[in-house]
Structure 1
Amino acid sequence: MPFARLASATTPTCRVGLGLAAVGRPGYINLGRDRDLGADRGVESLRARTHDLLDAAYAQGVRYFDAARSYGRSEEFLADWLKNRPDADDVVIGSKWGYTYTAGWSTDAERHEVKDHSLAAYERQRAESGALLGDRLDLYQIHSVTPDSPALTDKDLHARLAEAAARGLSVGFSTSGPAQADAIRAALAVTVGGEPLFRTVQSTYNVLEVSAEPALAEAHDAGLTVIVKEGMANGRLAGPDAPEALRSVAAETGLGRDAVALAFVLRRPWAGVVLSGAATTAQLASNLHAAVVDLTDEQVSRLAALAEEPHAYWERRGQLPWH
């Protein structure tokens, strides 16, 4: 398992990873992008920004980097960085297939990505990821599995994924939506030749959306590495409308709301890697303080009380504009 490398890391930030969703393409749903990225979102500008973030993350002990075929040119940017950083041979690289980027480097496209969990889509995107990342790709995940995804029942797809796993590629899946727990449990039941197919799960979990927690704990107990995404709720926990309880706990710790929100997730015993979705090096530095936040049980209880009903949470997320 590639993530076993993180277990021997000595830096406190080894359990924090960097996700490239916010910087691999000009448009995304995270709040505050006008402030974070400004008007210049050309390919070379975002390439340079991504490289700066990767440099800063590596220097501060981050060793997991997460991309996807649908994150614009994230794999390309990451591959360029790896070629220029031969010293970074200890990082773990993950990507995802199942969505195709369709925005054409525009922030106002009618559709930014198209979902397809078919075997044909896997074969096409696996070749595309391989052409960019080669043998540096450690983990390949099905992007945003839901309970009705054909990826959970397609035996031919399972066989091809198992072949890739036999050649050394770790196979995982990510989840989205109010039924994340159902998708996780269905994926845990997928076997090939009597052996579990998936070795990792990546799910949304934050102080506002905790519904997947029991299923993520089950996945951890089954031996999967759990990766947590959207710990900042796409910027909702960092902006001016952040919940008062989060503000007060942050004031008590003397650190940022982002660090406290991510520390809440890091405190979960089943959480293996928690992703920062930073778009600037300053945000990244602040996010990484999460590794040293020491929350009391009382503070954790106050944060846990912020949880929303999952359908309401995902309905609001679905209304966030691409910008």
Structure 2
Amino acid sequence: MPFSRLAAATTPTAHLGLGLAAVGRPGYINLGRDGDLPAERTVDALRERTHELLDAAYAQGVRYVDVARSYGRSEEFLADWLKARPDAADVIVGSKWGYTYTAGWSADAEQHEVKDHGLATYERQRGETDALLGDRLDLYQIHSVTPDSPALTDKELHARLAEAAAQGLTVGFSTSGPAQADAIRAALAVTVDGEPLFRTVQSTYNALETSAGPALAEAHDAGLTVIVKEGMANGRLAAPHAPDMLRAVAEETSLGCDAVALAWILRQPWAGVVLSGAATVAQLCSNLHAPAVDLDVDQLTRLATLAEDPHAYWERRGQLPWH
């Protein structure tokens, strides 16, 4: 598995990754994003911002980059950067299929993406990803699996994914929604010829949404690499939106709320890679202080009290506006 390279890495930030959801398209739901990006969100402007982030992340030891077909032109921006940076051969690239980007480079579109976990969508999007990333693609994940996803029961799709795995591609899945734990456990049961199909799981987990934790621990124990997304709860855990408890702990550590929030996730024994979704280099640099945050038992316990009911959390997330 390509993630063995991360396990062997010695840099403090090796287990932090960079996700490009916030900079691969003009519209996204992160709080504060309207002030984080250039007023004119042209393709060239966001390509430049993406490359600035990638340069900064690589210089600080980050070696995992997360993109998706539905993240606008994120795959294209990453592919351009990889071609210009032959020294970055050790970067591990993960992408996702299952959502089609439909916003037409507009932040005001009625519909930004359409979900379809069918075999035809996989074949189409796999071709599109290969055309951009080619043999630089290490991991391909089903995007946002839920318990009712047909991707969990489609044997023909499973066979095609197993074929890709046999050719050297790591196959994984991501989850979203209040039933993430159910989706994870259902995916762990998917096998092809008696062998587990999936080698990675990427789920939302943060101080406000902890419901997937036990299932992620089970996935880790089963040998999967766990990737954590939305560690900042789409900006709800970043200043100036952070809860008072998080602010208090951050003040005690003399570091930012974001670094503390990500450090709390890094303390989970099953967390393999924790993604930064930074939209600016300053945000990224602050996020990358997370490995240096030393949280004591009392601070960890206090932060654990921030957890919300998962249904309430996902309902609020669904109401966040696209900026």
TM-score, with normalisation over the residues of structure 1?
A: 0.99
**Alpha-carbon distance, 1:57 to partner:** 0.2
2:78 maps to what in 1? 78
Give CA-to-partner distance per residue, 1:38-78, whole Å, 9 cap, x none.
31210000000000000000000000000000000000000
1:81-92 matches, cutoff 5 A: 81-92=81-92
Segment drifting more, 234-243 vs 167-176? 234-243
CA distance, structure 2, for counterparts of residue 250 and residue 240 of structure 1: 12
**Alpha-carbon distance, 1:246 to partner:** 0.2
CA distance, structure 2, for counterparts of residue 91 and residue 267 of structure 1: 24
1:40 maps to what in 2? 40
1:164 maps to what in 2? 164
CA distance, structure 2, for counterparts of residue 8 and residue 87 of structure 1: 19
2:106 maps to what in 1? 106
**Alpha-carbon distance, 1:291 to partner:** 1.1
CA distance, structure 2, for counterparts of residue 170 and residue 317 of structure 1: 30
Give CA-to-partner distance per residue, 1:120-169, whole Å, 9 cap, x none.
00000000000000000000000000000000000000000000000000
1:16 maps to what in 2? 16
Letter of the 1:66 counterpart: D
Aligned identity (percent) is: 83
1:53 maps to what in 2? 53
What SS does structure 1 have at the residue aligned with 2:65?
A: strand
Letter of the 1:281 counterpart: V
Letter of the 2:35 counterpart: R
**Residue correspondences, number:** 323
**Alpha-carbon distance, 1:239 to partner:** 3.5
CA distance, structure 2, for counterparts of residue 41 and residue 119 of structure 1: 33
CA contact (8 A) 2:53 2:280 kept: yes
What SS does structure 1 have at the residue aligned with 2:110?
A: coil
2:205 maps to what in 1? 205
2:174 maps to what in 1? 174
Give CA-to-partner distance per residue, 1:198-234, whole Å, 9 cap, x none.
0000000000000000000000000000000000000
1:265-276 matches, cutoff 5 A: 265-276=265-276
**Alpha-carbon distance, 1:241 to partner:** 3.1
Give CA-to-partner distance per residue, 1:8-31, whole Å, 9 cap, x none.
111100000000000000000001
Moved over 6 A (4+): none
**Structure 1 position 278 matched with structure 2 position 278:** yes
Letter of the 2:299 counterpart: Q
What SS does structure 2 have at the residue aligned with 1:18?
A: strand
Letter of the 1:307 counterpart: A
**Alpha-carbon distance, 1:240 to partner:** 2.4
User: CA RMSD, aligned part only?
Assistant: 0.5
CA distance, structure 2, for counterparts of residue 226 and residue 313 of structure 1: 21
**Alpha-carbon distance, 1:306 to partner:** 0.4
What SS does structure 1 have at the residue aligned with 2:86?
A: coil
CA distance, structure 2, for counterparts of residue 55 and residue 230 of structure 1: 22
Segment drifting more, 181-190 vs 34-43? 34-43
What SS does structure 2 have at the residue aligned with 1:14?
A: coil
What SS does structure 1 have at the residue aligned with 2:108?
A: coil
1:3 maps to what in 2? 3
1:230 maps to what in 2? 230
**Alpha-carbon distance, 1:117 to partner:** 0.1
1:123 maps to what in 2? 123
CA distance, structure 2, for counterparts of residue 200 and residue 132 of structure 1: 22
1:246 maps to what in 2? 246
Letter of the 1:21 counterpart: A
TM-score, with normalisation over the residues of structure 2?
A: 0.99
Letter of the 2:319 counterpart: Q
**Alpha-carbon distance, 1:7 to partner:** 1.2
1:112-151 matches, cutoff 5 A: 112-151=112-151
